[in-house]
Amino acid sequence: MNELVSGAWLGGTIDSTGAVVAAGETVGEIAGQAAALVKMIQNMLIGVIAFAIALFWVFCVEREPNAPKPQMRELWVRLPKFILGFIAASLLVSFVFIPLMGMDTVKGILSQTKTYRGWLFCIAFLSIGLDSNFRDLGTQLQGGKPMILYLVGQSFNIVLTLAIAWLMLSGIIFPIPELAQ
């Protein structure tokens, strides 16, 4: 398997962005870049996919056959609000901070605030954990169905991602760039 295929496969199947880059780099430089690119594309699509799932769930899954059509308010209630924060932060940095201060200044600020951002990230995940109720979670794990679903889903993801990466990047459909051979 060439480096593009292996990098894309790693990027599409490993959850943590840092682990994706590390795993890709162990295969080679091209694989590391391909893995990072695929993971960045996945991260950018999280909001779009979450919105599509919210639409599907409100209008198809939970809708009773004879019930009136759900209101858009229901979609707003279900929409993960972090998506709006990501979009706002991206627009703010891209169209306000970088043009006003320059890329070097923004990189300097990010460098200076790295420790604080790391702590805030830890606090955010700690806060998610504070809301966890393992007693309730234990009742949902009885019978092993969630574990089976997870294993089937992950296995499907691994096989599907390999098939798509191989079809798209092995030279079968598109020619392989000379750098990746």
Q: What is the pLDDT of residues 32-52, one digit of tens each?
A: 999 999 999 998 888 788 888
Mean of pLDDT over the chain: 86
3-state secondary structure of 78: helix
Query: CA separation (Å) from 110 to 38, 91, 93?
Result: 24, 16, 11
Note the pLDDT of residue 6: 95
Separation of alpha carbons 13 and 86, rounded Å: 23
Model pLDDT for residues 70-111, shown as the tens digit of each residue: 777 877 887 778 778 888 988 998 999 899 999 999 889 889
- Where do we find the tokens 């089937």? 152
Which tokens sit at 13? 């199947």
Note the pLDDT of residue 176: 77
Note the pLDDT of residue 181: 55
Residues 6+ apart with CB under 8 A from 80: 50, 54
